[in-house]
Amino acid sequence: MHHFYLRYLYKRDTILATLSVFAVIWMLSLIPLNTSILNPFKTALKDLDFNDIAYSVLNKNAGTPFDNRIIIINIGNADRIGLAGMIEKIRNAKPKVIGLDVVFHAAQEPIPDSLLRNMIQTTPNLVMASYINWKDKNNNDQEKENTGYFGAVSKNRGYANFIGEDGGTIRTFSPSEQINGKKCLSFPIAILSIADQELVDKMEQRKKEFEVINYSRKEEQYMIIDGAALLEDNIAPDFLKDKIVLMGYINPDPNNVEDKHFTPMNPNFAGKSIPDMNGIVIHANILSMILDGKYIGDIPVWLFWIITILIAWLHVALFMRYYIEEHIWFHLVAKLAQIFFAVLSVYIGIMFFKWFNLKIDTKISLIVIILAIDVIYFYEALAVWLHTKFGFITTFHSKTH
Amino acid sequence: MKRIQTLLVFLFISTGLLAQKPNSFLIYSVKGTVTVSEDDKSSKAQIGKLLNDRSKIIVGQNSLVSIICNENSLFSVVKPGTYNMTQFKDSCLVNKSSITSNYLKFIWNQLTTPKGSPEKNRKSYMNNLGAVSRTNISIWVDSRLDTINYYNGEFPISWKCYSDVTEFDFQLLDDTKPVFQKNIKGATFINIPDFSDKLKINQPYTWTLKAKDEENTETRILIKWDKPSYEKLVNRFIAAKNSPETEAEESFRLGFLLESARFYSEAYQYYKKASQLSPDMELYQKTLDAFKKDYHIE
Tell me the per-residue pLDDT of A363-378, one tens digit each, with 9 for 90 and over: 788 888 888 888 888 8
Q: Is A191 on the interface with B (CB under 8 A)?
A: no
The region, left, alpha or beta by phi > 0 then psi within -120 to 50, assigned to residue B202 is left
Preferred mutation among A26, A28, A31, A37 to probe B, highest tally of B CBs within 10 A: A37
| Start-to-end C-alpha separation, chain A | 24
Q: Which of B103, B124, B127 to mutate to test the interface with A (most CBs of A within 10 A)?
A: B127
Within 8 A by CB and 6+ apart from A3, the residues are none
pLDDT number for residue A398:
52
Distance CA A159, CA A268 (A): 29
The 8-class DSSP code of residue A228 comes to: H
CA dihedral sign, ordered A243, A244, A250, A254: negative
Helices B282-294 and B247-260, axial angle in degrees (round to 10):
30
pLDDT value at residue B29: 84
Strand partners, B167: B185
User: CA B103 from chain center: how many Å?
Assistant: 35
Listed in sequence order, the DSSP H helices in chain B are: 2-19, 99-111, 227-239, 247-260, 264-277, 282-294
Give A191's pLDDT tier (boundaries 50, 70, 90): very high
Whole-angstrom CA distances from A216 to A200, A298, A304, A319, A358 are 19, 18, 26, 41, 15
From B114, which residue of chain A is nearest by alpha-carbon distance? A34
Name residues whose C-beta falls within 8 Å of residue A273's C-beta, 6 or more positions apart in sequence: A262, A266, A267
Q: Which class for B243: exposed (0-12), middle (13-18), buried (19 or more C-beta within 10 A)?
A: exposed
pLDDT at residue A179 in the model: 84
Q: What is the rounded distance in angstroms from the CA atom of residue B171 to the CA atom of residue B208?
A: 5
Helix residue ranges per DSSP H, A72-150: 80-92, 110-121
User: Which residue of B113, B130, B133 is in closest CB contact with A105?
Assistant: B133
Question: Residue A40 in contact with residue A383, Cβ under 8 Å?
Answer: no
Q: Which of A109, A210, A258 sits opposite B132 (nearest CB)?
A: A258
| C-alpha torsion A75→A78→A79→A85, nearest 10 | -70
pLDDT of residue B6: 63
Instruction: Tell me how many degrees the CA angle A137-A141-A144 measures, rounded to the nearest 5.
Output: 75
Neighbours of B87 (CB within 10 A): 13
Q: Please say if the pLDDT value at position A47 is more than 70.
A: no
Residue A324 has pLDDT above 70, yes or no: yes
CA A168, CA A174: separation in Å to the nearest integer?
16
Q: How far apart are CA A119 and CA A78, in angstroms?
A: 15
Rounded mean pLDDT, A323-335: 88
**CA-to-CA distance for B174 and A97, rounded, in angstroms?**
51
**Stretch A43-47: mean pLDDT:** 56
Q: Does residue A397 carry a pLDDT above 80? A: no
Rounded to whole angstroms, how far apart are CA atoms B173 and B150? 16
Write the CA distances from A38 to A27, A43, A124, A229, B207, integer angstroms: 16, 8, 54, 54, 45
Kindly indicate the confidence band of residue A50, based on its pLDDT and cuts at 50, 70 and 90: low
Cα(A225)–Cα(A68) distance, integer angstroms: 12
Low-confidence ranges of chain B (pLDDT < 50): 16-19
Biggest CA–CA distance in chain B, Å, is: 100
Which pLDDT belongs to residue A84?
95
3-state secondary structure of B133: strand
d(CA B251, CA B257): 10
Contact criterion met (CB < 8 Å) for B111 and A174: no
| Rounded-to-integer distance, Cα B112 and Cα B106, Å | 10
pLDDT at B20: 54
Cα(B79)–Cα(B89) distance, integer angstroms: 17
Residue A30 confidence (pLDDT): 80
State residue A120 phi and psi, 5-degree precision: -65, -45
Q: ∠ CA(A363), CA(A369), CA(A373), 5° rounding?
A: 145
Q: How far is CA A373 from CA A152, A327, A332, A369, A401, in A?
A: 61, 13, 12, 7, 16
Q: Are A17 and A320 in contact (CB under 8 A)?
A: yes
Q: Best residue in B117, B122, B141, B168 to probe A by mutation, most A CBs within 10 Å? A: B122
Residues 6+ apart with CB under 8 A from A85: A231
Q: How many CB atoms lie within 10 A of CB A102?
A: 23
Residue B82's DSSP bridge partners are: B58
200-239 in chain A: CB under 8 A from chain B:
209-210
pLDDT of residue B13: 54
Quick one: DSSP state of residue B282?
Answer: H
Chain A residue whose CA is closest to B164: A107
Largest Cα span, chain A: 90
Q: Is A161 on the interface with B (CB under 8 A)?
A: yes
Measured N-to-C along each axis, helices A279-292 and A197-205 cross at an angle, to the nearest 10 degrees, of 80
What are the backbone dihedrals phi and psi of residue B126, each rounded to the nearest 5 degrees, phi first? -110, 35
Of B146, B121, B218, nearest to A163 by C-alpha is B121
For the segment B84-121, what is each residue's pLDDT rounded down to a tens digit?
A: 888 888 877 766 667 777 777 777 777 777 767 777 77
Rounded Cα–Cα distance for residues A82 and A74 (Å): 12
A86 or A346, which is more confident = A86
Protein fold of B139-224: Immunoglobulin-like (2.60.40)
Task: Give the torsion sign (CA, A364, A365, A369, A370).
Answer: negative
Q: What is the average per-residue pLDDT within A343-348?
A: 85
Number of separate helices (H) and strands (E) present in chain A: 13, 17
Strand partners, A126: A98
What's the confidence (pLDDT) of residue A35?
61
Closest to A37 (Cβ–Cβ): which among B110, B125, B129? Answer: B110
pLDDT at A169: 86
Helix (H) or strand (E) holding B210: strand B204-211
Nearest residue on chain B to A139, alpha-carbon basis: B123
- Note whether A309 and A18 are within 8 A (CB): yes
For the stretch A85-110, pLDDT in tens is 999 999 999 999 999 999 988 777 78
What is the SS3 assignment for A137? coil
Which has the closest alpha carbon to B62: B239, B233, B257, B267? B233
DSSP B81: E
Check CB contact of B120 with chain A, cutoff 8 Å: no
- Closest alpha carbon within chain B to A249: B132
Q: List B31's β-bridge partners, or say none.
A: B64
CB atoms within 10 A of CB B45: 22
Q: Answer whether B135 sits within 8 Å of A248, measured CB to CB.
A: no
Taking the CA atoms of A4, A6, A12 and A16 in sequence, report the sign of the dihedral they define: positive
- Could you report the per-residue pLDDT of A8-22, keeping only the tens digit for each? 888 888 888 899 888
* E strands in A17-90: 70-74
The rounded radius of gyration (Å) of the Cα atoms in chain A is 27
For B93, residues 6+ apart whose C-beta sits below 8 A from its C-beta are B73
Helix, coil or strand: residue B37:
strand
What residues of chain A lie within 8 A of the CB of B122, using their CB? 163, 172, 174, 209-210
pLDDT at A40 over 60: no
Q: Are A9 and A313 in contact (CB under 8 A)?
A: yes
